[in-house]
Amino acid sequence: MKPLTTLTPFALPILVGADGAPTYTTDSNPTAALDSGPVIGQTTTLPAAIAPVNKFLGIPYAAKPERFSRPKKPEPWTEPLNASDFGPSCPQLFVDNELTPGLDILKDFFGTGSEESEDCLFINAFAPTSPQPPEGRPVVLFIHGGGWQQGNGQIDLSGFAGYEDIVAFAFNYRTNVFGFPNSPDVPTEETNLGLYDQQIAIEWVQANARAFGGDPKKVTIWGESAGSMSVDIQVNAYGSKSPPPFRSAMMFSGQMSVGLLGSTANPDDTTNWDSLAATVGCNDTDDQLQCMRDVPEKDLVKAMSTAQVAFLPVTDNVTLPSGRAERWREGKNAKVPVLMGTIAEEGRALVNRNITMKTFLDAYLAEPLATKEQQEAILKVYREDPKLKNDFDVASAIYTDFFWQCVRLLANISASIDNPTWRFYFNTSITTLFGEKYTWMGKFHGSDVALLFSTPTFEGDAGGIPFTPQLYTFAKYLRGVAGQFIRNPEAGPGWPSVGSRYKPFDVVSLGGEGGLAGATVVDERVLDERCRLYEEIYPVIEKYVLSA
């Protein structure tokens, strides 16, 4: 989800040494000494912030990738690298079909609008300029979403550094065929390149956090949508490493262990790859993989769109373990505090407005996952809701519950193994920030991070888009919730943990009409009442879809 505005930078002469201790100078932009070489950034000031913020953008955390190959560490450099601008995004893919929103919505809300290149493995750092504690500041590493097909780390996290006293990072990773090339000529364990990119970025933060004043022992990994699914993957993948390279996790709208969101590509089914190869003329060559490597980047992206193919991670038992729900139950994942949340109307930005119920049910709730009787029972409940007036409303509501909210089972599993776990329900619409065109989207998927990353530098106007005073205050509150958890994850974000003595009042609703409320503790039995409709379906999915 792209932000609505950016923060205005100005130059303040700060020097950050290799040990992370700031040295104030009078004639230079901020610098940081990394394990690969020195970088020069810029400084931003924020109203009423704890301190100005040093920004280092477009830092290579890996070498320029070779297409369809694992990432490698960057080549070291000796001359200071200019880190004042974001690097290019990785190649982006938008596919339009009868299930998904139209391309105009996808590009308006999830498009990057930036230069694209395969040379895209860049990370961005944001750090307060004030003297750090001796042990270093807490750190957050954000993993962007995009359905494994698009997205980037061009996110200005200055607000987290300047207001929450945190060192913050965001980065790009490869997606679509560039990140998950399910080719018969690529070994299964070499297919999840985007996940390898994430792991090398996580390890880069461990090696370089101190150069920005951060403590590598106090890292929180945080993701939204596919980024949140990635966090679940990394929590599983690092389960055998003690300690893991992070101490806590935040998962906003997504996980990979329960329900259909955990679906992966079949490594033995190369249909999409074969279709793409045929589209670009590589299907009858002696060395198909090399032929695909030689196709110009833009031609390959265009061909994916023409062929209507998308590429997903595969369960390789290296980067992506199998039996992920069972691993959670058995405590084989990394045991770290977790903050999880979903949005009230996730599906309204993810379902085609012209969808029919037959198309929707055939795609997501067909037999053997759901019997005809189960389908009818589900439809009866939703159609009795007077707020749901047509097939799109019903399909969106089912999609919200079935894919996103009701997999709160993972929060319950996490809590059941004594993993400190907190859950929220984002219940605020921010569509007023987009004008009248998108009011129908309601409390849509990605609106929480859009608000978090778009807090204006002054009240009343965010790059020409007005924030109401209530929404502005709520945005600051929401950032504070995330900041509190990042600084002290064991203590939580400020409400009862899942499975605590307050159960069933162990989940909060964030916001409300116009963002008027902060956190309101609610009864999970009421909030999740419709989830009973799917209780018999999730085990079927786990057994037959996620068992690989």
Neighbouring C-beta atoms of residue 269, cutoff 10 Å: 11
String of DSSP letters for 412-446? HHHHHTT--EEEEEE----GGGG-GGGGGG-S-TT
Residue 361, H or E segment: helix 357-364
Residue pair 436/444 in contact (Cβ under 8 Å)? The answer is: no
Catalytic residue among 36, 89, 158, 225: 225
String of DSSP letters for 26-78? SS---EEE-SS-EEE-EEE--TT-SS-EEEEEEEESSPPPPTTS---PPPP--
Q: Is 225 a catalytic residue?
A: yes
Compute the 3-state secondary structure of the chain and give helix, strand, coil in percent, each to the nearest 5.
Answer: 35, 15, 50
Strand arrangement, sheet containing 248-252: 42-44, 53-60, 122-128, 167-171, 137-143, 214-224, 248-252, 338-343, 421-426, 507-510, 519-522
Helix (H, G, I), strand (E, B) or coil at 163: helix
CA distance 324 to 542: 9
If 0-12 CB within 10 Å is exposed, 13-18 middle and 19+ buried, where does residue 416 land? middle
Interacting residues of 544 by C-beta distance below 8 A, sequence separation 6+: 368, 369
Q: Annotated active-site positions, please?
A: 225
